[in-house]
Amino acid sequence: MSDGAGPSTPSRKRSRWDIDEENDQLEQPQPQPVKRRSKTKSTKTSPAPEQAQHPAATHTELQRTSTVHKRPPHSVFVPPRTLHPPLMPSRSVYCYERLNSIEEGSYGVVFRARDKVTGDIVALKKLKLDEEKNGFPITALREINSLMVCKHENVVGIREVVVGDTLTQVFIVMDFIEHDLKTLLTTMPAPFLQSEVKTLMLQLLSAVAHCHERWILHRDLKTSNLLMNNRGTIKVADFGLARRYGDPVGVGGLTQLVVTLWYRAPEILLGATKYSTAIDMWSVGCIFAELLLKEPLFLAKGEIELLSMIFKLLGPPTPHSWPEYQTLPLAKSISLPPPQLPQLRQKFPHITAAGVDLMSRLLTYDPEMRISAVDALKHPYFSESPLPKHPDLFSSFPSAAAGEKRRKPYESPSAPVRAADHKLLTDFDP
């Protein structure tokens, strides 16, 4: 917790763009711990979009906390008792006014709603509890807990959990974010610029690093689970498959029915029961490729087809590239194609050598060798030209989730086919 890997991206960015403010903060005694603490607090209590009023809030908060706790300098790890939240019962769902439904999935329905008191627009996710025989579903518990544990600039913020009239109505209240990256990618006229891809990747990686640091595996990273607001910030969402992992990993067994097919790491495809943070990193690699290509990297219809597509792009695994390959349960039932060189360079002709290097480190066969989120954040790709673009300079888009109509400047030709394809394939999702 001491290395502060979590919020590294936002603070780095702020330092580049708001130089005066950073200086101000440095003058305060022990800026690091207080800043982080007040950040969590302000995201919880301040309802307004954080990006806009964040600097001011941080500043006043900072002064207050530093004057109060001057006497004994408290350790970061022992926050004063007053910072602990009180024991509060769930509020009623009637504190919110329903606006429109955003989407419906296997987990339940998501509504857009307005807080009746503050007027904030939020997303309400209704959990499906009707057919539960074993009490409150463990998956929903994991989701709520993961969201609460993983509070981060680039993780969708959970505000509270509210209940309806009966015990079967439970809603997770989250910050409303205008877009998901999947819809954005299929509808935007031109792909993201290199500088934009870097910003998005840095945000994604810092969120994933934050989750992994807190012992949470997301297990379903994909572009449709990455939300993006109109201020160039992406938020990792849908922790419906997330769970805690331990050291050693996989005690008690982990399910293989995780991660949407296209983003599923080869070790899960081959039946590994002990997997870890590396599976999320593979998904990050697939997302990286998708941001560059504007379409999913592996558009496979089944697991076998996916494996052969992976083998084709990266070359089949060798004892050198993946020593444990033969020990995996399903490895024997798969015949490897003849050896062949990786095709990454040909697939991505327009990115730099550093970009290809990062991609190949994310899409590394051997989970042990695959790059971690913390290391990926330090990859040279992010420090070479073009540098990551500041989020505020991103263009904004009409939000489908908020029911906004987009003007059609010109037809994006392949979208309908792909959208249909996508729907067909997500039906396979566990």
Partner 1 sequence: MSTSLYPLASLPQIEKTPSREDGIPGDLEEDLRAYGCKLIHEAGILLKQKQVAVATAQILFQRFWFATSMKQFGIGDIGMGALYLASKLEECPVRIRDLVNVYDLLLQRKAHIRAQAVASSLASTSSSTPSWSELKYTPMSYFGNTFYDLKEAVVVAEMQILKRLGFNLTVVLPYNTLVNYLRVLGLTSREDVCTKAWGYLNDAPSVEARLQTPVYALYSVPTIVCAAILLTTRHLGIALPSAPENCWWELFDAEWEDLSSVCGWIMRLYRERSLEDHTRVMGMVAKKGVRQWLEEHRSVGGEVR
Token digits of residue 341: 């060189």
Helix or strand holding residue 173 (H, E): strand 170-175
| Residues 200-229 as x/- pattern, contact with partner 1 by CB under 8 A | --------------xx--------------
Please name which of 9, 68, 15 lies closest in space to residue 38, comparing C-alpha atoms. Answer: 68
Q: Per-residue string for binding with partner 1, 37-76, x by CB under 8 A?
A: ---x-------------------------------x-xxx
Asked whether position 255 contacts partner 1 by CB under 8 A, the answer is no
d(Cα 151, Cα 62) in Å, to the nearest integer? 19
Q: Which one of 113-121, 160-168, 197-205, 288-296 is the stretch in contact with partner 1 (CB under 8 A)?
A: 160-168
CA–CA separation, 264 and 272 (whole Å): 12
What is the closest distance, in whole angstroms, from the C-beta atom of residue 36 to partner 1 in the complex?
7
Can residue 32 be called a binding residue for partner 1 (CB under 8 A)? no
160 vs 295 by CB, closer to partner 1: 160
How many positions of this chain bind partner 1 (CB under 8 A)? 39
Q: Is 405 in the site for partner 1 (CB under 8 A)?
A: no
Query: Can residue 149 be called a binding residue for partner 1 (CB under 8 A)?
Result: yes
Taking the complex as a whole, the smallest distance from the CB of residue 60 to partner 1 amounts, in Å, to: 20
Q: List the catalytic residue out of 120, 175, 180, 220.
A: 220
Min dist. Cβ of residue 302 to partner 1 (A)? 30
User: Which residues are CB-contacts of 81 (< 8 A; sequence separation ≥ 6)?
Assistant: none
| Residue 148 touching partner 1 (CB under 8 A) | yes
The CA R_g of the chain, rounded to the nearest whole Å, is 22
Query: Of 170 and 291, which has the nearer Cβ to partner 1?
Result: 170
Q: Taking Cα atoms as reference points, which of 237, 123, 242 lies closest to residue 180?
A: 237
Q: Indicate whether 84 belongs to the interface with partner 1 (CB under 8 A).
A: yes
Smallest gap from residue 251 Cβ to partner 1 (A): 9
Q: How does strand 234-236 pair with strand 243-244? A: unpaired
**CA-CA-CA-CA dihedral for 103, 105, 109, 115, to nearest 10:** -60
Reply yes or no: is the peptide bond before residue 248 cis, omega within 30 of 0.
Answer: yes
First to last CA, the chain: 34
Q: Single out the segment in contact with partner 1 by CB under 8 A; choices: 47-55, 96-104, 163-171, 421-429.
A: 163-171
Q: Which is nearer to partner 1, 244 or 378 (CB)?
A: 244
Helix H or strand E encompassing 278: helix 278-293
C-beta of 136: minimal distance to partner 1 in Å? 6
Q: Is 319 in the site for partner 1 (CB under 8 A)?
A: no
CA atoms within 13 A on the CB side of 416: 2
Whether 175 is a known active-site residue: answer no
Q: Which stretch binds partner 1 (CB under 8 A): 49-57, 135-143, 228-236, 293-301?
A: 135-143
Beta bridge partners of 40: none
Pick one of 138, 304, 330, 420: the residue that binds partner 1 (CB under 8 A).
138
Q: Which amino acid is at 374?
A: V
- Nearer to partner 1 among residue 47 and residue 191 (C-beta): 47
Q: Buried b vs exposed e over 28-42: b needs ≥16 C-beta within 10 Å?
A: eeebebbbbbbbebb
Residue with Cβ nearer partner 1 (34 or 197):
34
Task: Please compute, for residue 282, the number of CA atoms within 13 A of its CA located in the half-sphere on the CB side.
Answer: 29
DSSP classification of residue 379: -
Binding of partner 1 by 1 (CB under 8 A): yes
Task: Please return the burial class of 117, using the count of CB atoms within 10 Å of its CB with bins 0-12, 13-18 and 19+.
Answer: exposed
Q: Which of residues 164-203 bind partner 1 (CB under 8 A)?
A: 167, 170
**Any idea which residues carry the catalytic annotation?**
220
**Which residues contribute to the site for partner 1 (CB under 8 A)?**
1, 36, 40, 72, 74-79, 81, 83-91, 134-136, 138, 141, 144-145, 148-149, 160-161, 163, 167, 170, 214-215, 243-244, 252
